[in-house]
Structure 1
Amino acid sequence: MSARLWVLKLERAWDAARLRRAGSRVPSDFRIVCYGGHGSAEGVVVRGRVVDDPPPPAAVEGEGAVAAVRRMVRHFVTDELPGVPLRITVGDAAVDAVTDDEGYFVARLHPSPDTLEAPWARGTVELAGEYRGLAGVHQVPVEVCVPAEEARFGVISDIDDTILETGVQRVGRMVRQTLTGSALTRTPFPGAPELYRDLAAGVNPVFYISSSPWNLHSFLSAFVRHRDFPRGPLLLRDLLGRAAGREPKTARIDEVLALHPGLRFVLLGDSGEHDPQTYVDTVRRHPGRILAVYIREVRLDPHDGRVERVWSGMGDDVPLVLVADSEAVRRHATGLGLL
């Protein structure tokens, strides 16, 4: 049995014991955490999670490492609530959903196109029935990215080591930065915010698709906002669970392309892990939909040949560009007429 499956078994045993202890107790910190959504006339997808925890405190300027570690631990130590009945409404459409064993939910809706306001449509997620004696109204807003008709193309970008300096290949450094950093102190790659704003041009949608856990959604959203990257949906995953939270990265990319069939896309990632293979597979699965692929070079050994082997035999229909920095992306994208 793999290490992930062992950890998954332990987590499920812990969750089962926690739920037995809770019994029918009324959740004291019931919270619907909405991850937002995206869509078009083809349909809308909304994701989120329901937990029994107060929200982690926001980062503050000048805080120490101990405060940062405590806040980050709060992101991961959660009391998720399974079996919660919810109603999700966007535009003139509403659907019911129930949270899975990890507290996640995903809803697919089909509102009338004239009820979807671009670039952001609004809706709600609310408790739709009795749950462990909760009283009162429990409702949160949801915002759904709806590309405007004027959009020329879309952008799909990884996060770690693509816009956010993480050092995934240096595990110790990555863990230290994740635990002790905050949305205010973590740094983007030089020139990345400006590049992404220019690619977005105020109208082109940007989708941040990462293998980072959903637990980091609020942190990564705050980082994107604080560093002035273009606003856009963050599509992450559950590292251990299954069903609503654990779609593979390729499935999330396919979802974006399926829900936005009128757009072609620019893909941005890094050479540290699986982005080269993932993006090549995307080009093959979606002929004619990808304008360019940019991979930031972050390998410890840039001459290991791994990226080059993945790209061999792809032809010249779609530019596959290995870049050293944001300026290299800018130069090439300008040559293609994207900027």
Structure 2
Amino acid sequence: MGFSRTGSLLEDAIHARVEPAVRALGFRPRVIGYLGYGTTDAARVLARVLLSRPSRSAPNLPAPIDKASRGWRNFMTVHAADLPVKIQVGDALVTAHTNRNGYLDVEFTGHGLPPGRHSAYLQTPEGKVSRADVEIIGDDQRIGLVSDIDDTILITMLPRPLLAFWNSFVRHTSTRKPVPHMAELYTAMRVRRPDLPVFYLSTGAWNTFSVLRRFLAKNGFPDGPLLLTDWGPTQTGWFRSGQEHKRTMLRRLRTRFPHVKWILIGDDGQHDPQIYGEFAAEFPDDVLLIGIRQLTAAQQVLAHGTPDTGPGDRSHPEVCEDEMSAPVDVVTGPDGRALATQILPVLEEHSRPVS
């Protein structure tokens, strides 16, 4: 047995003891529905099944945006592994099993749904039905937005080794502050293209889904699917790679929406310029624009230990251009207002009817 598998085996062994114990206390499966997405041909349904005490409220619905708590409460959960769940999306009906961490990630074909927001219905063996929304994107959509979260739309101001721990476990969920004018930028983009699909791609854990949805709603960001990850150990290592998660999700979006050109927005605090640049180099016809929010000197010190990215740093915006084999516009700015002056004209140009 390799050392890399020790974490997942230990996690499974602990869960094998905890799940029967909490079930004996009366805990029952509860579906947490995430926001999925798809086309008129196929859809992706995302959810997780946790064990909790029976409640009269509708637990699968997002909590009110003014309801806040310490972040660690989102992680004090017990999931239901290998649980059969019936899922219906439009005309499609399947039975899927949760994975070892309680997640459902199911692709559907033949659902027959038109573009717009729809609901998938999930039924546990106990008969309880919950809902997970799905955003169906029309085949005529030609432009989409992918946005990072931490330091792109949400101010962190923490050293990177502490960032994930503090934001997820300690910080009060109502104290998260948005990057100035980024919500206005995304709203202006939606005004110019009301059907613009917006995806939030982050290395954050799925446990923070409800917290992030409340942050987006409270601060005026357009709603859209969150593409998060599971922090638990895998069969190949103790921790998942955040960079690989982003690379995989970008490729998955490209495969699902081959007719869409993407606006990719991130920050120069870590690896966004490199990841976006690599993607644009491999698929130059699928990227309309790359926008990089420039961190302040203080934020760069926390991210790197130095007040600037420097020419040798793989997070420097110039890395985008270095990685690319074909010209794709790369714009930079310290906030949403500065980025808007460069991004909105490009969006308007590509939104004009072809004569």
TM-score (norm 2): 0.80
**CA gap 1:182/1:149 in 2 versus in 1, 3 angstroms:** farther
Match of 1:48 in 2: 47
Shift of 1:142: 1.9
1:232 and 1:110 map into 2 onto residues whose CA distance is 21
Match of 1:304 in 2: 310
SS of structure 2 residue aligned to 1:336 = helix
Shift of 1:314: 2.4
Match of 1:17 in 2: 17
**CA gap 1:3/1:290 in 2 versus in 1, 3 angstroms:** farther
Q: CA RMSD in A?
A: 3.1
Match of 1:157 in 2: 147
SS of structure 2 residue aligned to 1:248 = helix
Shift of 1:10: 4.2
1:138 to 113, 120, 128: 128
Q: Mark the runs of 5 or more structure 2 residues left unpaired by the alignment.
A: 54-58, 302-306, 350-355
SS of structure 1 residue aligned to 2:31 = strand
Map 1:53-72; keep pairs closer than 5 Å: 53=52, 68-69=69-70, 72=71
**CA gap 1:96/1:321 in 2 versus in 1, 3 angstroms:** same
2:102 and 2:322 map into 1 onto residues whose CA distance is 42
Q: Which moved more, 1:148-157 or 1:205-214?
A: 148-157
Match of 2:263 in 1: 266
1:3 and 1:160 map into 2 onto residues whose CA distance is 31
Match of 2:98 in 1: 99
1:280 and 1:205 map into 2 onto residues whose CA distance is 21
Shift of 1:179: 4.0
2:251 to 249, 254, 261: 254
Residues 51 and 80 of structure 1 are in contact (CA less than 8 Å); yes or no, is this contact kept in structure 2? Answer: yes
Alpha-carbon displacement from aligned partner over 1:140-169 (angstroms, at most 9, x marks no partner) = 122111224664511001111111111354
1:153 and 1:327 map into 2 onto residues whose CA distance is 21
Match of 1:77 in 2: 76
Identity percentage of aligned residues: 28
Match of 2:220 in 1: 228
Q: Mark the runs of 5 or more structure 1 residues left unpaired by the alignment.
A: none
1:310 and 1:317 map into 2 onto residues whose CA distance is 10
Shift of 1:282: 1.6
2:29 and 2:309 map into 1 onto residues whose CA distance is 51
Match of 2:189 in 1: 199
1:277 equivalent to 2:274? Answer: yes
- AA matched with 2:45: V
- AA matched with 1:328: A
1:326 to 336, 339, 343: 336
1:62 and 1:154 map into 2 onto residues whose CA distance is 31
- AA matched with 1:93: A
1:315 and 1:172 map into 2 onto residues whose CA distance is 36
Match of 2:30 in 1: 31
**CA gap 1:5/1:165 in 2 versus in 1, 3 angstroms:** farther
SS of structure 1 residue aligned to 2:252 = helix
Residues 51 and 79 of structure 2 are in contact (CA less than 8 Å); yes or no, is this contact kept in structure 1? Answer: yes
Shift of 1:206: 0.3
TM-score (norm 1): 0.83
Shift of 1:125: 1.3
- AA matched with 1:312: D
Shift of 1:336: 1.7
Shift of 1:315: 5.3
Residues 4 and 240 of structure 1 are in contact (CA less than 8 Å); yes or no, is this contact kept in structure 2? Answer: no
Residues 166 and 174 of structure 1 are in contact (CA less than 8 Å); yes or no, is this contact kept in structure 2? Answer: no
- AA matched with 2:215: F
Residues 38 and 233 of structure 1 are in contact (CA less than 8 Å); yes or no, is this contact kept in structure 2? Answer: yes
Shift of 1:43: 1.2
2:264 and 2:152 map into 1 onto residues whose CA distance is 11
